[in-house]
Structure formats: structure tokens, C-alpha cells
Structure 1
Amino acid sequence: MAAAPILEIDPQHPQPRAVERAVSVLASSGLVAFPTDTYYGLGCDLFDKRAIERIYLLKQMPKEHELSFICADLAEISRYAIVDNTAYRVLRRKAPGPYTFILPATRLVPDLVLRRQKTVGIRIPDSPIALALVKGLAHPIISTSAAAPDGEVLIDPRDIKERLGHGLDLILDGGYQPNEPSTVVDLCGPEPVVVREGKGDVSDLLT
């Protein structure tokens, strides 16, 4: 299989034609690499089981490895997760931003992306490209870091093409992305719990 083509895209003002091309790939079971506000992500349609399995295969990840997905806004999060008042207040403050929120899942979430205790990891990245893809597809997209099977996180689209291009259908080039993961916040309990500190500031959640 030929390596995926690279398509340049403006990270702040993504060109509609580039977004449409990527959305069309996602809608036809394809895999797209795209910039977020943290790592480059590898994405596919949340409801496309075959495409999700391709991501596991490409990154050589065990099926126990949990995948997060991107929602367009708080209204969309509330369709896929149970959001109580405490969680809602945190989401209002922190989204969009470099955070992954762990929340109890609703029945709309496919089994393949359910975490332990029927929870989900959801992001609203502060990234015009990622949000344009979700809005264009009209439902969430899986997002996992563009990392090679050896664990190296790839921050340059050319490296993504060289290491992962054989298993992708399109690479959106929004320039270099800093090598920094999202902050993971568990919102399933009465108080927010910071599971992993990354790019997102959590000083206000630790008091």
C-alpha cells in the first residue's frame, strides 16, 4: 500500500477544501493524521469498527489500550457521557483545551472504545483543524497520538508519513507540533482527579 499523501492546512484557519477532503476520507472508513493542540492525532470515525481496528494494528497496540475521542462542544459531550454539575463546571472552565476528560459513558458509545467501569476519554481540543473535522463528520472522531509502534511520538508530518504512512489515508500538515501530551482529568467521582499532568494547567483543580 502506498504511503498516504500529505496535504498542507492552515492550523488557525483551515481551508474548507482541505477539511472536506479529510472528512470524506473519515466518512469512507479512512484514517487521517491531523494536528491537535497537543500531539498530532490519528483519527477515524467513532462508529467505524473496522477503522478503529486499523488504528490498533497500525500502532501495534493491545486491545486493552484505551482510545479517546474528540467532541465538537459540550452539547456533544453530553450525548456520549453522563455529565453531573461538578463535571460540567470543570468542562466549562477547561474546554476547549489540552485536556482529556474521563467520564461515565452513555449507551451511544461503541463497546470498542469503552474503558474500564464503562467510562470514556473525551477531548475538545483548542484546535480549529480537529474541531472542523468533527463538525464536518457530524459526530465524534477517535484521536490517539501519532506514535510509532516503538513508542516514539512523531511531531513532523514527514516523519508520520515515513513511519505510519503505509497505514494512513491522509496526513494533514499543520506544521510542527510540540511533543507534549494532554492532561488527563477523571470527572467520574465527586471531585476532579488529575490522572496525568500534561500540557493543560490543573493548579485550580488541585486546591
Structure 2
Amino acid sequence: MNYQEDLKKAVEVLQQGGLILYPTDTFWGIGCDATNAEAVRKVYELKKQEDRSSMTMLVDSDVRFNSYVEEVPEIAYDLIELAVKPLTVIFSGGKNLPDNLLNEDGSIGIRVTKEPFSWALCQKFRKPVIWTSANVEGEASPGGFDEISETILGGVDYVVNYRQDEVESPVPFGIIKLEVDGQVQIIKE
């Protein structure tokens, strides 16, 4: 299957409320339509996680922030632009998203992906896509595709073929929490 067919199939599965396993700018991840509460529930079920455990949304551009965040501090755009590695920003006041995706305090983690497949996926899908590590709660995050468990492989509706044979180490990423007033709290460097 070529790249375009892989992308098309992944988008179709997302549109139908299914789960995909796909490469990102950090680790391989489990993905679904971030705006679909039932799809989000299926991710929690597959990972054996409690609802409202924190998950990240991937978007193709910071222009999407305003659709899913009540108030985006101006500094957010500078932080994303200047980041030297993938950066998840936890924003206060998520909106237009299912309750089971928002953290208990109403916040939401969003990362602008720059990896070719996940970027094209978000752009073609036109909605945010969930990214959460491809492991069951309590197990180590897989370093590469070949370390993903049969439970995860068998629990998704589509496994992307692109980049499966790569043996590179996962890219480290940062996490910050950004308050409406612009205060930044570093969660993970």
C-alpha cells in the first residue's frame, strides 16, 4: 500500500469513529477523532485507562487552537514556533470537545505535529486526532513499531503501514501548561 492509500484509509477509519495506530513526531500512537466521545471512550477501553486520563490532541497548525480552546494566550504561538522538539501545550478551558477527553479541570493538551504522516492526517481529516502512546496502562511505551503489543495491534481498526520498518529511537517531547494569563509551568522538559 502506498503513502496516499495509507493516508486515505486512516482518514476513513477516523471518520467512521474507529481507532488507528499511526506514526507521529514522537512515538507510535493510538488515534481517533478527538471530537467523537464514543471513539475517545474506545481508546480508554483499549488502553485499560480510566476516562478523563490525560490524552493529547494533534493538530496540523496552531490556527486550530481557537476552535478547541476558550482563550489562547498570545505566547502560545511563540512557544510553538520556537520549540526545538515536539511540544504539547496544556491549555485551560477546552471547548467543542467531548467531556471524556477534557482533563478534570477542563484543560486539554494539544501538539502541533510536524511529522509528515500525522501532519497530513490532521490536515486531510480537518479535525484534531488523539495521540496517546501505543501501550496498555502500566506497560512501557513502545520504542518502535516492533515493540507494540498484540493487544494494541489487535484492538485498533487500522494499522498504518508507513514507517513501520524504522528502527530510530522515539523523539523526546516537552509538555508545558499554559495559563490564560500567560504563566508557563514546565511539566516535562
Give the TM interval when normalised to the shorter protein. 0.7 to 0.9
Q: Secondary structure at the match of 2:148?
A: helix
Alpha-carbon shift at residue 158 of structure 1 (Å)? 4.1
Q: Secondary structure at the match of 1:193?
A: strand
- How many residue pairs were aligned? 184
Q: Does the CA-based 8 Å contact 2:52-2:104 persist in structure 1?
A: no
1:22-61 to 2 correspondence within 5 Å?
22-61=10-49
- Is 1:184 the counterpart of 2:175? The answer is yes
* In 2: Cα distance, 1:164 partner to 1:34 partner: 12
Q: Does the CA-based 8 Å contact 1:67-1:121 persist in structure 2?
A: yes
AA paired with 2:151? R
Moved over 6 A (4+): none
* In 2: Cα distance, 1:106 partner to 1:65 partner: 15
Alpha-carbon shift at residue 192 of structure 1 (Å)? 1.9
Q: Secondary structure at the match of 1:123?
A: strand
Taking only aligned residues, the RMSD between alpha carbons, in angstroms, comes to 2.1
1:160-179 to 2 correspondence within 5 Å?
160=148, 162-173=150-161, 174=163, 175-176=166-167, 178-179=169-170
Tell me which of 84, 108, 114 is aligned to 1:120.
Answer: 108
What runs of 5+ residues in structure 1 fail to find an aligned partner?
A: 1-6, 10-14, 198-207
Q: Secondary structure at the match of 2:109?
A: strand
Q: Give the structure-2-normalised TM-score.
A: 0.87
173-182 or 131-140, larger mean C-alpha shift: 173-182
2:187 corresponding residue in structure 1: 195
AA paired with 2:30? L
1:81-96 to 2 correspondence within 5 Å?
81=69, 82-94=71-83
Alpha-carbon shift at residue 117 of structure 1 (Å)? 2.6
What runs of 5+ residues in structure 2 fail to find an aligned partner?
A: none
In the TM superposition, what whole-angstrom CA distance separates every residue of 1:135-166 from its partner, at most 9, and x where no partner exists? Answer: 11111111101113442212333443623122
Indicate the percent of aligned positions where both proteins have the same amino acid: 25
Alpha-carbon shift at residue 187 of structure 1 (Å)? 1.2
1:9-158 to 2 correspondence within 5 Å?
15-81=3-69, 82-94=71-83, 97-158=85-146
Relative distance call for 1:25 and 1:48 in structure 2 (3 A) is same
Alpha-carbon shift at residue 190 of structure 1 (Å)? 3.0
* In 2: Cα distance, 1:177 partner to 1:34 partner: 15
Relative distance call for 1:167 and 1:99 in structure 2 (3 A) is same
Q: Give the structure-1-normalised TM-score.
A: 0.80
* In 1: Cα distance, 2:182 partner to 2:132 partner: 28
AA paired with 1:85? E
Relative distance call for 1:162 and 1:156 in structure 2 (3 A) is farther
Relative distance call for 1:178 and 1:49 in structure 2 (3 A) is same
